[in-house]
Structure 1
Amino acid sequence: MLCEFGLLGLLLWIPVKGLNNCKRERVSTTALTTELQSDVMLPCYFESALLRPEKAEDAAVVWSQVSTTVLNLLETNIHGNVRLWDSKGGRMKLLPKFRNYGNFSVILHKAQLSDQGLYRCELIQRINCSTAYQDLNLSVTSCRSQPLTSINITTELQSDVLLPCYFGPAVLGSDKTADIAAVWSQQTIPEDNLMEIRLQGEVMFWKNRDGRIEPFPKLSASGNFSIVLHKVQQSDLGLYRCELFKGISCGLAYQDFYISTFPEAHSSIQYWHYLLGAAVTVFLLSVCVFFMQRRRRHSEDPLYVNTYFYQKKDVEVRRPQCTSRGSHPKQEDSVYVNWVINKRER
């Protein structure tokens, strides 16, 4: 009798154990947002423990889109076999090079609004034996954040600086109850979000720089989301962005502000460089003018040519005379002096 119950229990225990191996386990849930007509990767990865050789021989991964009904899209396995049911007009592509590493991600090209919803990547070991799955919530937005202005602001350390951020009615719209907010961030690596100012005047701080950031919540209803940064420090320098969002992730427009400053010592050195350069320029101009005037004065002096004279007892100046054709006075009785001839008489 006991043997019969023992055998019956063993027979019942075997299928129960098999059912436990097929228990579906959700590995992860991921939220993704992409823009309309862009490409987005739907990630799916299963650890090697779930894909051991004895388990992976007949294992397959099925992608499906879950709404009121389950729409199977495609099926693949580690051997590269693919079965397509609905590839969304050829816009859904696999990554075959990575499936041996447990990566069964797919690329969805040119996302459409109809592509929004819940996607499921499910690991199936045997027929109807699902062991694990991953869920992905995909949102497709038609929003594309547009740059409006880029402003350079120069200030001094320890001073206060205004970062003016204003969005007009064309961007804000006319609905004053809309879910619209401006997010201030410093564009470092990684991005450092500072605060959020809602259209209705509510303010949420993530980092207020020890209370040195001051918003103007009463002005936000008019589209003014400006802030003041008090006592600017060296770490405050850099690029800031004021970006307007509608809803959770729909960026509408943004404005950039670049804050820079120069230490006082650097400014003083630069000032003396300017003075020295100006002094050298004046000196060189003076030298040039001096030499030009001197050259001009010399050019107006009379010219001198050599004229022949001869000596007698009394010094007498005469024009040179020849005693006979081709002969001249004796060399020892003659001297040469300069006869002045003005240029106007030449």
Structure 2
Amino acid sequence: MGVVLNLDGKRGAASVASLVGLTSDEMGRVNELILSKAGSDVDLIPELAKHLIDSGGKRLRPMVTLAAAQMFGYAGEGHVKLATSVEFMHTATLLHDDVVDESDLRRGRKTARMIWGNQASVLVGDFLLGQAFRMMVDVGSLEALDILSAAAAVIAEGEVMQLGVAKNLETTEDDYLAVIKAKTAALFSAAAEVGPVIAEASRNDRAALRSYGTNLGLAFQLVDDALDYGGKSSDLGKNVGDDFREGKVTLPVILSYRRGSAEERAFWKGAIEENQSDDAALEKAIGLMKRNGAIGDTIARARHFGEIARDALAPLPQTPQKDALLDVIDFCISRVM
């Protein structure tokens, strides 16, 4: 469940340019560390890792970690290693996701599994996770290690939970939110929280960033769900309708199925459960979603979680980093405008 950002701010006024500017120097060090730690004497490991690392993601999660540490005056180098760990965890998750989902494309390019196979993709993902944990240990913060290791376990639980709801049209909204809270929001939450942890901020400050990250992650995923049926490939980092073609039960599908007539529910069963998901079926699915208000209500839920994220930061002192993190929320929602 990846997110690709357009950094130029052309869509409306929302932009993450301020976050990029505040973290640009440190992100340079993160990028150097990524290249260093993805290296190996086993040729396939750096080759496969580079394929995914270079595939166009803008590394939002590590930027959040860096900005959150800056917000509380951190002046060391530990946040660079933690930010790199976060990015490696995300990259490993993408490798594993593509195998589980049997995905052929990511951000318009062949997935690693299509080039090197499922076994290599899983094992290189495991290598990156190992490197992430080595960097966490190097930082020397047991609390940061606890937060990120707990997130890794939750993400894996989310993967298993997703298997349980795959192609299951009886999945409830609560069930689905539990899946994306684990699969997507857990890493956003950890990425935001380890910043104040490494800066030795107060418990309240840490909780604020944790809540911000969780709700930002939920909002981002729900926006992605909506865009899959009404967006552009440039916003998604994948082809529009990919979720539909893969038979994924996302919130727009859940809402449209539950609100539909018996005939419409029969269509959804054929499309999702029996893989009747050609271009004509996709067009019909989008029409049903619009008629049943499923896309609009998915966006409304994303806005709701975005407001919770905004409220989480409200008690914190005004800083450029706080403003930048608030801009990320606005940017997230603006992708569907």
Larger RCO, structures 1/2 (Cα 8 Å, 6+ apart): 2
TM-score bucket (shorter structure): under 0.3
The structure with the larger Rg is: 1
What is the TM-score when the length of structure 2 is the normalising length? Answer: 0.18
Could you say which structure has the higher helix fraction?
2
What is the TM-score when the length of structure 1 is the normalising length? Answer: 0.17
